[in-house]
Chains A and B, each alone.
Chain A
Amino acid sequence: MVSLWKLYTLFFKMGLFTFGGGYAMLPILQKEAVEKQKWITEEELLNYYSIGQCTPGIIAVNAASFIGYKLRKIGGLISATLGVISPSLIIIVLVAALLRQYMDNPYVQQAFDGIRICVIALIINTVWNMWQKGVKNARGYIVFAAAAVLLWCFNLSAIAVVILAAAASLIPDWRRSKK
């Protein structure tokens, strides 16, 4: 049986070598958890990912929690999750502390002026990718447009929009009800 400490350190390593979102961690998990340690099968990993991306929270953390639970129940869940978030805690605190010192430097400012523009492009690119994957029918277009109106015209909070969209998804489809 794998020790909790080993789970923590291995997920620490995986968190450390993941750049970007949860999907960036998928190939790393596949190599480490499926091929090398043989903790889970490939199919289980994909299941965890598909459930992980539609349950609350960060996908990479959800996948870590699932694997940890499978191996060592609740203790494993906690050590895997803490392992995957620990590198972020350490690195971001260091970077944030450093940036606080150097943010007044004109060169750093100019670089960040460019970077902020890139962030807008990154956001549009993310939405574009997600649109191609997730919005496929009239219902999707309507929910998208309705959410946009609620946000731009009525300044609703993000949580309110998520709750309303969840409620709207329970409205039955008129085409199906005619059959």
Chain B
Amino acid sequence: MIYALLCYEFFKIGLFAVGGGLVTVPFLFDLSEKYGWFSTTELADMIAVSQSTPGPVGINMATYVGFKVAGLGGALAATLSEVLPSMIVVYLIARALAKWQNNSRLDKVLAGIRPAVLSLILFAGWGIAKETITDYKSLAVMLGLLAAMRLLKKSPIYFIAASAVIGLVLHI
């Protein structure tokens, strides 16, 4: 039953993806390998669309993947399951806020996970890059865009729009 499977997988993502935005990407990358619901190229498209439409990126990607796998019902199942763990956790924390804020062991665990999360995101990016950066031309475009991001510090949507134009003009 595809809806139950989506609920289970996205509940897990909601539970283990700590931090914002692209942190869910490695988990989605695992899903594409495990079930073959979408290719890594399609994952790259979903990231781009999620970054350039309104709404939090992590939610947009869950909706997109759910829709891709099982239509409207899938979109609902994936999105609601992804937010359920955080609703439960926030509920528990909000009830005992003062107690948790001063819990140094918890802070340490959470800070300790962060460097590993960076590896996770890079690994997922590597999987996508293998499909999309295939020659020196695409590598040069990527490095150019990265330099522009570092220097200009604008919202991703501008760079995504620019790269669409580059794709149309250069036929990468």
| A interface, CB within 8 angstroms of B | 15-25, 47, 51-62, 65-66, 69-70, 74, 77-78, 81, 84-85, 87-89, 91-93, 95-97, 99, 107, 110-128, 130-131, 134-135, 139-141, 143-148, 151-152, 157-159, 161-162, 164-166, 168-170
Contacts and interface: CB of A to CB of B under 8 A. Distances in A.
9 contacts: A52-B90, A57-B82, A59-B19, A112-B164, A115-B45, A151-B120, A158-B27, A161-B116, A162-B116
Contacts of A148: 119, 122-123
Given A51-B97, A158-B120, 4 more contacts: A57-B18, A114-B172, A147-B116, A162-B18
Contacts of A159: 12, 16, 27, 30
The prevalent SS among residues of A at the interface is: helix
B123 A112 contact: no
A87 B171 CA distance: 34
B112 A139 contact: yes
A32 to B, nearest CB: 15
A96 B68 contact: yes
A25 to B, nearest CB: 7
A89 B63 contact: yes
A25 B56 CA distance: 8
Contacts of B172: 110, 113-114, 117
A24 B49 CA distance: 16
B74 to A, nearest CB: 10
A155 to B, nearest CB: 9
Interface string B31-64: 0000000000100110111111111111110011
Contacts of A69: 90-91, 94
Q: Which 8 A-B pairs have the closest CB atoms?
A: A114-B167, A169-B112, A57-B86, A21-B21, A88-B55, A118-B163, A165-B116, A147-B119
Contact of B164 (A84, A91, A111, A131): A111
B7 interface: no
B150 A143 contact: no
A126 B24 CA distance: 13
Given A111-B167, A116-B48, A61 B59 contact: yes
A117 B138 contact: yes
A89 B53 CA distance: 11
Given A21-B20, A62-B86, A118 B159 contact: yes
Nearest to B157: A19
A56 B16 contact: yes
Nearest to B124: A123
A119 B123 contact: no
Interface in B77-112: 79-80, 82-83, 85-87, 89-91, 93-94, 97, 100-101, 105, 107-112
B131 to A, nearest CB: 8
A126 B22 contact: yes
Contacts of A25: 56
